[in-house]
Structure 1
Amino acid sequence: MPSVPPVPDQLADLPYAHLLTPHTGPLRGDRYDTVHFEGAQEVVSAGGASFLECAFTGTELQGARLRQARFNEVWVQGSRWIAVDCVESEWQDAALVSTVLAGLTAYGSAVRRVTFRQCKLEAVNLRGAALRDVVFEDCLLRDVDFGDARLTEVSFPGSTLEEVRLAGAALKQVDLRGARSLGLPDGPNGLRGAILGSTQLFELAPQFAQALGITVKD
Structure 2
Amino acid sequence: MPSVPDQLAELPYAHLLIPHTGPLRRDERYDTVHFDGSAPAGPELAGPANGATFLECAFTGVELSGTKFRQARFNEVWVQGSRWIAVDCAETEWQDAGFVGTVLAGLTCYGSAVRRVVFRQCKLEAVNLRGATLRDVVFEDCLLRDVDFGDAKLTEVSFPGSTLEEVRLAGATLRQVDLRGAARLGLADGPNGLRGAVLSTVQLFELAPQFAQALGITVKD
TM-score range, shorter chain: over 0.9
2:215 corresponds in structure 1 to 212
Letter in 2 for 1:81: W
When the two chains are superposed, the root-mean-square deviation of aligned CA atoms in Å is: 0.8
| Distance (Å, rounded) in 1 between the aligned partners of 2:145 and 2:178 | 18
2:34 corresponds in structure 1 to 36
Q: Displacement, 1:5?
A: 2.8
2:127 corresponds in structure 1 to 124
1:107 corresponds in structure 2 to 110
| Distance (Å, rounded) in 1 between the aligned partners of 2:81 and 2:166 | 24
TM score, norm. by length of structure 1: 0.97
Q: Structure 1 vs Structure 2: percent identity of aligned residues?
A: 82
Structure 1: state its 5+ residue gaps. Answer: none
| Distance (Å, rounded) in 2 between the aligned partners of 1:15 and 1:162 | 35
C-alpha deviations, 1:174-202, integer Å up to 9, x for none? 00000000000211110000000000000
| Distance (Å, rounded) in 2 between the aligned partners of 1:97 and 1:145 | 21
Q: Does 2:23 match 1:26?
A: yes
Q: Displacement, 1:26?
A: 1.0
1:13 corresponds in structure 2 to 10
Letter in 2 for 1:22: P
Residue 86 of structure 1: which of 64, 86, 89 is its match? 89
Residue 69 of structure 1: which of 64, 72, 91 is its match? 72
Q: Displacement, 1:38?
A: 1.1
Contact 2:139 2:159 in 1 (8 A): yes
Q: Displacement, 1:27?
A: 1.3
Alignment coverage as a number of residue pairs: 215
| Distance (Å, rounded) in 1 between the aligned partners of 2:103 and 2:6 | 16
The structure with the greater share of residues assigned to strand is 1
